[in-house]
Amino acid sequence: MFSYILRRVVISIPVLIGISLVVFFLIKLQPGDPLVGMISPETTPEQKQEMLRQAGYLDPLWLQYLRWASRAVFGDFGYSLQSGAPVLTLIDERIVNTLLLAGSSLLITLLIALPAGIFLGLRRGSLPDIMASLFSFVAISIPVFFIAILLVKIFAINLRWFPVSGVSTLGTHDHGAAYLYDVARHLFLPAVTLAIGNIAIFSRYLRSDISHLINQNFIKALFAKGLKRRAVIYPHLLKNASKPLITVIGMEIPALLSATLLTEIIFNWPGIGRLSFDAIQSRDYPLLMGIVLFLAVITLIINIVADILYAVVDPRVRLTP
């Protein structure tokens, strides 16, 4: 197992280098310069050039990349052009909120999708299966921002059950059970917005695997031996169905993080998504590069964890190169 994990980590290193190259050069090749919104209109072109030279933006691109990458290896992504704070500090302040939103959405997804997928897989072709299929097609087809607007209209504006923005109510509770309840109310709408599409995806994958496995000979043999359905479903059916589901979850979590960025903007959730949006608007290149590279590292870690879980479920995977 250790050699398998080591191989996956080694494979991720060139991927991360490639991502850093693409991110760096795409941002650096954008027209204009990062000082356009920071200097006085009275600054002369000579003074502006001198400021760019002192900041290192006139150096060759390869030299700028090596300088930036050598610092990024040790967690130094530079300083924000707008606030002057270290990029990593700004990310640390927001990443908890993003992980809370993404984690809550994933938890809601699994709590609903897993039992629904098992139920529908054992009753393929029934009326609930047909209705769930229609829901899945609709949920996958509707954009995230439209789902967010619809939930806000129903639950925040019409029913007034949940707040529409922020992570907590200012000036009320700052600790204890009341604070946790307040955060949960603010978290509900954005988390459900992210979960709806993933519930449809995960439940359909699990339903397809269950309905396929239930007709396999080894499952029929277990039933023929007189085993009860519960004794067949959980130790045998779900174990085999979990293999492709782990792969799907590993692929969907990066997509979940991407959708989180848009959802944070809609609900004004103070996370990485909102921070990246502000960085784009202000052309804060160091902050934007740090955010993208940081999310890339998280995505690679998630993929490695998914590979490890897959190897635990199916030991044959460890033998593959």
Angle between helices 272-281 and 87-122 (to 10 degrees): 130
Question: The pTM is what?
Answer: 0.79
In the predicted model, is pLDDT for residue 320 greater than 60? Answer: no
Distance CA 130, CA 120 (A): 9
Distance CA 320, CA 73 (A): 30
Helix (H) or strand (E) holding 36: none
The torsion angle over the Cα atoms of residues 146, 152, 153 and 159, rounded to 10 degrees, is 150
3-state SS, residue 60: coil
Provide, rounded to the nearest whole percent, the portion of the chain with pLDDT above 90.
Answer: 0
> Quick count: other Cβ atoms within 10 Å of Cβ 20?
20
Distance CA 250, CA 245 (A): 8
Distance CA 94, CA 291 (A): 11
CB 206 within 8 A of CB 119: no
More confident residue, 321 or 249: 249
Task: Quote the pLDDT of residue 4.
Answer: 66
Chain segment 209-247, per-residue pLDDT in tens: 777 777 777 766 766 776 666 666 666 666 666 667 777
> CATH number of the domain at 88-319, out of 3.20.80.10, 1.10.10.60, 1.10.3720.10, 3.40.630.10?
1.10.3720.10
Which of these, 244, 259, 258, lies nearest to 210 by C-alpha position? 244
**Residue ranges covered by each domain of the chain:** 2-72, 88-319
